[in-house]
Structure 1
Amino acid sequence: MLKKLLLMTFSAALLVLAGCSDNNQPEFGKHYHDLPSDLSDVIADPVVEVFSLTCGHCMNLEPQLPAIKQGFGGEIGKVHVTFNDASRSAAMFFYAGVTQLGETPNAEFMAGLFNLYHGSFNSSEEKIAALNKTFTDAGIISPYELTEAQIADVLEASKVAEIVTSRGKIQAVPTFIVKGKYLVDLSSHQSSEDIANTIKYLLEK
């Protein structure tokens, strides 16, 4: 009788453990979705953050990116959306930096760009001065001083952003695209750890 009771107890415990394991697995339709179009032909990075400098939520996500990267053990690229006039304009500044740096901008540079849209300035001249300082502090030239060849590079980079925005039907940011196929729904995640868990799951999927 005692042996039978112990077996029942262990079986119940195993069911509880199995239930916890299932709860940790990201759910399709809740934590992530399929993109309407495969973007792996235009997105080289396995994981990219889709964002806009005009978005306050995107700015607030920036400090969490190191923890998210550490959580899934990889790097995060960036694509600036272009779904309205304001985001298209902001994308030009972002890609003016990316094309000169040749890599994803660091946190300091991104903070300077976000500040242009969410900081307080007394005049347009003051804002332009802040923009120029952000670029010169990074060792690159101001967007207002780009050569024709550099402007062409910026326009080419923004075309990729247009493709991602339109083919991916991106309507809200921030979000993450994984393997060019999956879109992470951040509203269904409670922490950086949760986001990293979903990204890691999708990378292994």
Structure 2
Amino acid sequence: MKIALLGYGRMGKTIEKLAQERGHEIVKTIDANDDYDFNGAEVAIDFSVPTAAVANISACLNANVPVVSGTTGWLDHYDEMVALCKKNNGGFIYASNFSVGVNIFFELNKQLAKMMQGLKDYNVSMTEVHHIHKLDAPSGTAITLAEGILEHSDKTDWVLDAEENDKISIKAEREGEVPGTHIINYGSQVDEITIEHRAHNRNGFALGAIIAAEWLKDKTGVYSMKDVLNLS
């Protein structure tokens, strides 16, 4: 499979290495100020920065190149990208986290939220820890987790680094080179329940994105990792 990489930072280089190990060819890397010549790419993988994501995804869809995006922090424009994909009969997958383990964790989080619904003695909160280079807070993964809880909770929203009774408190910590840790806690006066996902390195994110790209090739439509992993 011929792949174009949009964003050639640490994640882009990890994706390049793992994709080549799986027998794929990186035919183009596009970073800041590069042109959008996709050089015959059959699919594109975007791990750029929030300010570049919309332009990158739009360029792919306008060039009829299916695109997988793991860039977070741009979702105010998500509906626009969905509309553009449908208009061009393109292929598009966005995920806040492509790790197979994290996507299983998303579903586990929703199931726990359903079980805790109505148990007023328990208050839910979240902590996410990432490396000091991460540009957005809370992480896109934390926001996805919060949305999964809100579907089955009387909480009205989430709030960052604060505590409000009607909102899910998310604490964002940035330290060292931590690839990503997410902790969900339900605490009461008598006990607490905690679930946690801890990434050991970036390879899980990169491999998941490659698996998504392999799945998306030659498809049209807007999908998620639930479709890729058959978790629906």
Would the TM-score normalized by the shorter structure come out above 0.5?
A: no
Which has more helix, going by share of residues?
1
Q: Which has the larger radius of gyration?
A: 1
Where relative contact order (Cα < 8 A, 6+ residues apart) is larger, the structure is 1
Task: State the TM-score, normalizing by the size of structure 1.
Answer: 0.31
